[in-house]
Amino acid sequence: MPDPKGFLEHERRVVERRPVPVRLLDYREVYPPAPEALVRQQASRCMDCGVPFCHEGCPLGNRIPDWNDLVRTGAWPAAIEALHATNNFPEFTGRLCPAPCEAACVLSIAGGEPVTIKQVEVEIINRVPSLVPRPAPSRSGRTVAVVGSGPAGLAAAQQLARAGHQVTVYERDDALGGLLRYGIPDFKLEKHHIDRRLAQLSAEGVAFVTGVHIGVDRSAADLRTAHDAVVLACGALAGRDTPNTPGRGLGGVHFAMDHLVGANRAVALGAPDTAPIHAAGKHVVIIGGGDTAADCLGVAHRQGAASVTQLDRYPLPPPARNEDSDPWPTWPWILRNYPAHEEGGTREFAVAVQSFVDSGTGHVSAVRLVDVTVVRQDDERVVSVVPGTEREIPADLVLLAIGFDGTDAVPALRQLGVVANRHGTVDCGPDWQTSADGVFVAGDMHRGASLIVWAIAEGRAAAASVHAYLGGSGSLPAPVTPKAVPLAVP
């Protein structure tokens, strides 16, 4: 029975982030651990509504009111049991999820303050001293290859290993974790969290092979022949370019991911200053408005940029939910301020880049931009220039964070006879099976660039289908179908 008055007695409070001048000196996580008293008090704000819409907001179907009440009463071991029942990796989602569950919380109706669900989630897993392996009681004798070690691949691997199948995860990179490893900076996710979880998967019997690019170093068709099933979880890592913008070929104009991956690798080596694309002393312009752009912003400030400007072609979103277009409990279009935004920099909205200006030495010296309006017509976005608004801003380093064009695992798909769709992603049937028999797909490779919570949900659901395909006994949980979409107005 939850506390019937918790939400009346306590206001929403999240733990304070580390002070900006301090955290800019390192790459450690921005959020310190939250005190137990704060977490329990905040969990007591959950009123365990008869119809918990937060379940619907969370693609994993996390049983949020259950673990909120366990935290309220200090029953931490039971809380992690309840959380792990639906989420393989709460240490990732608790740190990184944008928390659509909070947008769907009943307390957020009419502009109210939702329960701090995400904070409770991360504090539950933070209090687990060690991740106890749960190996399968018996082996099925069937083998599965998972290609890609991001959250989708790891979730599928853990589910299948626990169901008794022999799983091998193949990763082309030198370290495991997908975008969590070298895409997302340490100030959002320190990497020991990934290593701790990987140790659990290893102890459960999952085998890992790194440095093997399936489709290049080893044929995907051969992989399929050698295993009873294959799960493709290769992400959507083909960076979107702007090849027709004059000056794109100038020195100093880079894909954002080249900046981030180099910087994160340098941090992993304990030598952040050796990052190959470094912002120290430079005027940095980041083009794009999502997670990738915000991560570049945080890295650029830690590297000592002279200035950072973030350009977004969409207008400044409203500060609060528009109840007509984005009614509760949907995920609203509002201005989202990441911790990186409070560390400095300027944001310009409703602008488009016309060209990158040459310094005269083949290097970029400025970005020429213009105000624009964007309207939706027949499902297409039409961008119009506002005449007379052309201007230049200084730029020594330009980072393109304008999205992704689907998967880059093209050789593997070709060898399997699977054709990517027009978005560059891979279609599947209701059982997550691609057009190739016994070849399944999950995560960004199927959904397009999305979120960790969706990747884990798809990995779990695809694993359930693989288990059925292999004739496994019983059924595994499948929180989403391939056609599932975030809560939206029909």
Ligand X SMILES: Cc1cc2nc3c(=O)[nH]c(=O)nc-3n(C[C@H](O)[C@H](O)[C@H](O)COP(=O)(O)OP(=O)(O)OC[C@H]3O[C@@H](n4cnc5c(N)ncnc54)[C@H](O)[C@@H]3O)c2cc1C
The window from 5-13, 190-198, 233-241, 270-278 that contacts ligand X (CB under 6 A) reads 233-241
Provide the CB-side half-sphere exposure for 182 (13 A, CA).
20
**Which segment (181-189, 244-252, 303-311, 480-488) binds ligand X by CB under 6 A?**
181-189
At its nearest, how many Å lie between ligand SF4 and the CB of residue 66? Answer: 11
By CB under 6 A, is residue 194 in contact with ligand SF4?
no
Closest approach of Cβ 322 to ligand X, in Å?
A: 23
Among 60, 220, 238, 401, binds ligand SF4 (CB under 6 A): 60
Stretch that binds ligand SF4, among 13-21, 114-122, 133-141, 329-337 (CB under 6 A): 114-122
Helical packing angle, 452-469 and 151-162, nearest 10°: 40
Q: Name which position in 2, 52, 100, 177 contacts ligand SF4 (CB under 6 A).
A: 100
Element (H, E) at 467: helix 452-469
Looking at residue 322, its amino acid is N
- Helices in 386-430 by DSSP H: which ranges? 410-416
Pattern 61-90, ligand X, x by CB under 6 A: ------------------------------
Residue 45 binds ligand SF4 (CB under 6 A): no
**CB-facing half-sphere around the CA of 53: CA atoms within 13 A:** 18
**In the numeric block, which tokens belong to residue 263?**
């910087």
Q: Which residue has the tokens 């059924």?
A: 475
The β-bridge relationship of strands 229-232 and 143-147 is: parallel
Scanning 276-284, 346-354, 385-393, 449-457 for contacts with ligand X by CB under 6 A, the matching segment is: 449-457
Least Cβ distance, residue 136 to ligand X (angstroms):
23
- Residue 163, token pair as written in the block: 């169901």
Determine which helix (DSSP H) or strand (DSSP E) holds 473, and give its type and residue range.
none
Which window, 117-125, 170-178, 206-214, 264-272, contacts ligand SF4 (CB under 6 A)?
Answer: 117-125
- Of the candidate spans 25-33, 183-191, 200-208, 277-285, the one that interacts with ligand X by CB under 6 A turns out to be 183-191
Residue selected from 142, 450, 470, 480 as contacting ligand X according to rule CB under 6 A: 450
Whole-angstrom Cα distance, residue 258 to residue 241? 13
Q: Is 58 a residue that touches ligand SF4 (CB under 6 A)?
A: yes
249 CB contacts (<8 Å, ≥6 apart)? none
**Complete DSSP assignment for 100-166:** HHHHT-GGGGGGPPPP-HHHHHHHHHHT-SS------SS--S-EEEEE--SHHHHHHHHHHHHTT-E
293 CB neighbour count, 10 Å cutoff: 22
Give the x/- contact pattern for ligand SF4 in 406-445, rule: CB under 6 A: ----------------------------------------
Q: What's the CA angle centered on 211, arms 210 and 216, to 5 degrees?
A: 125
| Closest CB 454 distance from ligand X, rounded Å | 7
Residues that bind ligand SF4 (CB under 6 A): 57-58, 60, 62, 64, 93, 97, 99-101, 117-118, 121, 453
Residues that bind ligand X (CB under 6 A): 96-97, 147-153, 170-173, 178-179, 183-184, 188, 213-215, 233-235, 237, 260, 291-292, 295, 409, 412, 443-445, 450-453, 455
